[in-house]
Structures are given as C-alpha cells and as structure tokens.
Amino acid sequence: MSEKKNNQVSRRQFLNYTLTGVGGFMGAAMIAPMVGMAVDPLLKADSSGDFIYVMDVDEITEEPQRKSFSIEQQDGWYESEAERTAWIFRDENGDILALSPICTHLGCVVDWETGNQDNEFFCPCHNGRYDSKGVNIPGTPPTEPLHAYEYRVEDGRLYLGRANPRGGA
Ligand code: FES
C-alpha cells in the first residue's frame, strides 16, 4: 500500500519536473532572442567608419564619373541601407578625388557640366557653381567646397568612407 502511494507521488513529481522543464525551456527560448536584440546594438562597433568598394582604380579618369554605392546604417536598433553617390576623378597631379554631390548651399544635387560653363560642377537650384575640383566659385551661393569622401585603395580597388568638409574657399 505504501509502495503504491510512493509510486503515485513520484509520478506526480515526474510530471511536475517534466512540465517545469518544458515550460522553462520554452520560456528561455522566447526570452533569449529578445535579450540578444536588446543588447546587440550596444555591443556592436560603430559601422559609420566602414569603407565600401566603389570601383576599380584603373577605371578612374580625369572626367568625373558618378558612382552610387550602398552603406548599412544603424539608428539605435534599426538597421537600414542608405544610397550614397560620389563624383570620382583624378586631378592634374593624378590624385584621386571623390566628392559628395550634395550642394553645400542648401543640399540640392550637383551635376557635372550641366550649367553654362564647361569643366564645372553645377547646382540647378540657385545656379551654384564649383570648379573642376569641386571648390565653390565666389559670387555663387555655395560658401564652401563640395565635401570629399575619405578613401582607401587596396589591391587596385577604391573604397570610400564618410564625406567630410574641406574648408571654405
Ligand atoms: S542648393 Fe545649390 S545653389 Fe542653392
């Protein structure tokens, strides 16, 4: 009789252990990803310093070429892709320049040789003009040169980083 009672108790305990174990496992399985999502962005390094491949160096000409590329940007816990564009060319010394197309006046997009002058960048919004190196031409609305991308060359490939101001003309 007491043996049977012991068996019933141990069956109930077994059931309790099993249900507790399964419940605990399911709870951990649900909570672990949430904790991971909450902590992950805090642990990740800032990706704004990344360099992105844009083109091969031997394709760079003295005539500016417009190239687009994507960067991954992190805004808190939100990750997205953002499109960037650069005007890429070599100056008369053979140095590489990669310029942001964002007009430094009010942020319109500049184009190459679409104004009345050859060999200039032109902003159609307020007739902003920049010389062939992207330096603003005095007397037109922009007050500073087009920003320049940081770049690296590795194995004949051009990688761009962030675009920085170059100082006023
Ligand atoms: S936004 Fe380019 S000249 Fe005004």
In a domain, 37, yes or no: no
Confidence category of residue 44, pLDDT binned at 50, 70, 90: very low
Q: Which domain range does residue 74 map to?
A: 52-164
- How many angstroms does the Cα of residue 110 sit away from the middle of ligand 1? 8
Is residue 43 in some structural domain? Answer: no
Q: Is the CB of 108 under 6 A from ligand 1?
A: yes
> What's the rounded mean pLDDT across residues 122-135?
97
Higher pLDDT, 134 or 167: 134
Average pLDDT over residues 108-125: 94
pLDDT digits (tens, 9 = 90+) for 137-147: 999 999 999 99
Cα 32 to ligand 1 centroid, rounded to whole Å: 50
Cβ contact 108:121 at 8 Å: no
Q: How many domains is the chain built from?
A: 1
Which ligand 1 atom is at minimum distance from the Cα of 140?
3
Q: Is residue 117 part of a domain?
A: yes
Question: Which of 114, 125, 137 gets mutated to test ligand 1 (max ligand atoms within 8 A of its CB)?
Answer: 125
Q: Is the CB of 128 under 6 A from ligand 1?
A: yes
Q: Is 78 within a domain?
A: yes
Measured CA to CA in angstroms, residue 163 lies from 98, 102, 132 at distances of 9, 10, 18
Q: Is residue 65 part of a domain?
A: yes
102 lines ligand 1 (CB under 6 A): no
More confident residue, 117 or 148: 148
Q: Cite the beta strand spans of 29-155 per DSSP E.
A: 52-56, 65-75, 78-90, 96-99, 111-112, 121-123, 128-130, 148-154
Contacts of 54 (CB under 8 A, 6+ apart): 67, 69, 86, 88, 98, 158, 159, 160
Q: What is residue 17's DSSP assignment?
A: H
For the chain, give the percent of residues with pLDDT over 70.
76
Per-chain mean pLDDT for the chain = 84
Q: Which atom of ligand 1 is nearest to the CA of 106?
A: 1
Domain-embedded: residue 1:
no
Q: Strand locations in 46-120, DSSP E?
A: 52-56, 65-75, 78-90, 96-99, 111-112
CA 109 to centroid of ligand 1, rounded, Å: 8
Cα-to-centroid distance, 16 and ligand 1 (Å): 73
In-domain check, residue 18: no
Q: In the chain, where do the E strands start and end?
A: 52-56, 65-75, 78-90, 96-99, 111-112, 121-123, 128-130, 148-154, 157-164
- Whose alpha carbon is nearest atom 1 of ligand 1? 106
What is the edge-to-edge ordering of all strands in the sheet holding 128-130?
A: 111-112, 121-123, 128-130
Q: What is the CATH number of the domain that holds 97?
A: 2.102.10.10
For the residues 18-27, what does the mean pLDDT come to? 70
Residue-wise pLDDT tens digits, 47-101: 446 899 999 999 999 999 999 999 988 888 889 999 999 999 999 999 999 999 9
Does the CB atom of residue 105 touch ligand 1 within 6 A? yes
| H or E element, residue 15 | helix 2-43
Q: Given a cut of 60, is residue 33 above it in pLDDT?
A: no
pLDDT at position 46 over 70: no
- What gap in Å lies between CA 125 and CA 102, rounded to an integer? 12
**Band of residue 31 on the pLDDT scale cut at 50, 70, 90:** low
Q: Is residue 40 part of a domain?
A: no
Q: How confident is the model at residue 15 (pLDDT cuts 50, 70, 90)?
A: low
- 108 φ, ψ (degrees, to nearest 5): -70, 180
* pLDDT, position 115: 84
